[in-house]
Structure 1
Amino acid sequence: MRAIERVKSHYKRAKNQVIEVPEWGARDHPFKIYYDPMTPNQRKRVNDEHEGLDPEAFVDVLVMKAQDEQGERLFNADDKHKLLTEADGAIIGRIAVQMLGPCDAREIEKN
């Protein structure tokens, strides 16, 4: 198998990662955010639009990557202001950092 095929295969298996957000869910059912790993182009877009990983960059990552279980985006550009002014920045930061990090190998094995 060529190297590029291995790279593409890994990305395909890494799709649909899950982040549980207990603060946004019901008592026994944490809210779940699904996402695909960041591609180099998406990372470049975030880096080009921001100087470092500031709170606005974290919100942009959330808007760009957060999906429901069916793959529909959870947030849109109209939600950005509310995420910046009416949400807990620590939670958004925690989610964005996880989305920006490497894929969880255990989750990939489940796919």
Structure 2
Amino acid sequence: MSALAQAKAHFTGHTRQSVDVPEWGAEGKPLRVFYGAMTVAQRRKVWRDEEGKVVDGNTACVRAILFQAFDKDGKRLFDDMDEHALTHEVDSEVVSRVGAVILGFVKGEPVKADKQVDDAKNG
């Protein structure tokens, strides 16, 4: 098997992971957000704007949720038109925490938005 075939097999073998979001839940149950490993193209879509410029960490967290958050059946939880609402009408602490988990920055531990911004600037 070639190195490329092995790399592809590794990627397709990833299982979906999930993060529970109590703040977005209903009826006393947290919203369970499913996400999977990302390709380079998917990461580029999260980290770059339409002109190819790198976006800040907060925007990347919003886009990670926007493009990579799924329900248990694999249906996207948000569509492209929800970026404004996730940026301007949703608690930034929750967006930062969930986006960071999807991006692989943390393993489910709460992270303050200020720390995410500092890490993005200094990283």
**Smaller-chain TM-score range?**
0.7 to 0.9
TM-score by length of 2: 0.70
1:82 maps to a residue whose letter is A
Aligned to 1:101: 104
RMSD: 2.2
Give me the whole-angstrom Cα distance separating, in 2, the residues matched to 1:53 and 1:12.
Answer: 29
Aligned to 1:85: 88
Q: Which aligned pairs between 1:1-111 and structure 2 lie closer than 5 A?
A: 1-26=1-26, 28-49=28-49, 51-101=54-104
Determine which structure has greater relative contact order: mean sequence separation of CA pairs < 8 Å that are 6+ residues apart, divided by chain length.
1
Give me the whole-angstrom Cα distance separating, in 1, the residues matched to 2:39 and 2:78.
Answer: 19
Q: Using a 3 Å threshold, how does the CA distance of structure 1 residues 76 and 97 change in structure 2: closer, same or farther? A: same
Which structure has the highest helix share of the two?
Answer: 1
Give me the whole-angstrom Cα distance separating, in 1, the residues matched to 2:44 and 2:81.
Answer: 22
Identity level (%): 33
Aligned to 2:116: none
* Unaligned stretches of 5+ residues in structure 1: 105-111
Residue 57 of structure 1: how far off its partner (Å) = 2.1
Give me the whole-angstrom Cα distance separating, in 1, the residues matched to 2:104 and 2:10.
Answer: 15
Moved over 6 A (4+): none
SS in 2 for 1:30: strand
* Unaligned stretches of 5+ residues in structure 2: 108-123
Give me the whole-angstrom Cα distance separating, in 2, the residues matched to 1:101 and 1:53.
Answer: 16
Give me the whole-angstrom Cα distance separating, in 2, the residues matched to 1:16 and 1:70.
Answer: 11
TM-score by length of 1: 0.77
Residue 28 of structure 1: how far off its partner (Å) = 4.9
SS in 1 for 2:54: coil
SS in 2 for 1:18: strand
